[in-house]
């Protein structure tokens, strides 16, 4: 027979001549229970000091715990290890954590609906230079995994796709590639070559950067993963 808390109605735990509610934290003497609950106790054999009945309080509404928040350092570690078992969207969440000012235009709910590609594309539309900084952070953090075909494809062909096809971003990215050999190597010497690299080579033609195109093409020619473009 269940004895219920006079404050919230949840089952209570009886200790001697006192009761405690494990849900709302209220407590008191047996005499402070509702008359109906004291009547239950009488039917159970009295409410003297020798009576002690324990109830397990459960609440199905608490089964789904609040999602854990991860620090930037934890997210960086996941991306560096390329291990997303604990946090599927660690790449996206790392960018959100590292560039709070760039993502303040969207609500938390809107950000959760974006994947990494959409986030980079949306930021690049507003602030191309920040989109490039985000890209560099992602590539620098996951750098060693660019030698792995699956990870390289995820980063270069999927995550960066929307960003690198934006002409405003392409212009600034071309300027960056002129002086950033590390970034050029990450983009053109990785274990995956596809639309992203082809778009950037076409951008070199569009912006009249013939010398840069030759340098980037030379990186591709030395890349054993490059089998030509479709």
* CA trace torsion 46, 49, 54, 59 (10° rounding): 90
Evaluate if residue 223 carries a pLDDT over 90: yes
Task: Give the mean model confidence (pLDDT) for residues 139-148.
Answer: 96
Task: Give the mean model confidence (pLDDT) for residues 141-165.
Answer: 95
Per residue in 178-222, pLDDT (tens digit) is: 999 999 999 999 999 999 999 999 999 999 999 999 999 999 999
For the entire predicted model, the pTM comes to 0.70
In DSSP terms, which residues pair with 15 in a beta bridge? 18
| C-alpha distances in Å from residue 127, one per residue of 104, 122, 123, 207 | 12, 9, 6, 20
Report DSSP state, residue 15.
E
The pLDDT of residue 208: 96
In DSSP terms, which residues pair with 212 in a beta bridge? none
Per residue in 16-65, pLDDT (tens digit) is: 677 777 666 677 777 778 877 777 777 765 444 433 433 344 444 444 55
Evaluate if residue 82 carries a pLDDT over 90: yes
């Amino acid at each position: 027979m269940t004895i219920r808390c006079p404050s919230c109605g949840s089952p209570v735990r009886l200790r001697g001549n006192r009761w405690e509610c494990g849900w709302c934290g209220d407590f008191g003497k047996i005499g402070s229970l509702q008359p109906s609950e004291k009547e239950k106790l009488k039917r159970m054999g009295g409410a003297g000091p020798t009576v002690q009945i324990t109830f397990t309080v459960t609440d199905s509404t608490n089964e789904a715990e609040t999602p854990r928040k991860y620090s930037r350092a934890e997210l960086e570690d996941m991306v560096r290890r390329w291990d997303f078992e604990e946090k599927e969207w660690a790449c996206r969440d790392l960018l959100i954590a590292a560039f709070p000012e760039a993502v303040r235009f969207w609500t938390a709910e809107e950000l959760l609906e974006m994947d990494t590609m959409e986030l980079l594309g949306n930021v690049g539309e507003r602030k191309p230079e920040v989109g490039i900084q985000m890209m560099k952070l992602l590539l620098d953090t996951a750098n060693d995994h660019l030698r792995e075909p699956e990870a390289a494809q995820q980063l270069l062909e999927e995550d960066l796709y929307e960003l690198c096809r934006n002409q405003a971003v392409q212009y600034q990215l071309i300027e960056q590639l002129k002086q950033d050999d590390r970034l050029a190597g990450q983009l053109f010497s990785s274990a995956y070559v596809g639309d992203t690299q082809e778009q950037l080579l076409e951008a070199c033609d569009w912006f009249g950067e013939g010398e840069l195109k030759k340098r980037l093409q030379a990186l591709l020619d030395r890349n054993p993963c490059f089998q030509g473009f479709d």
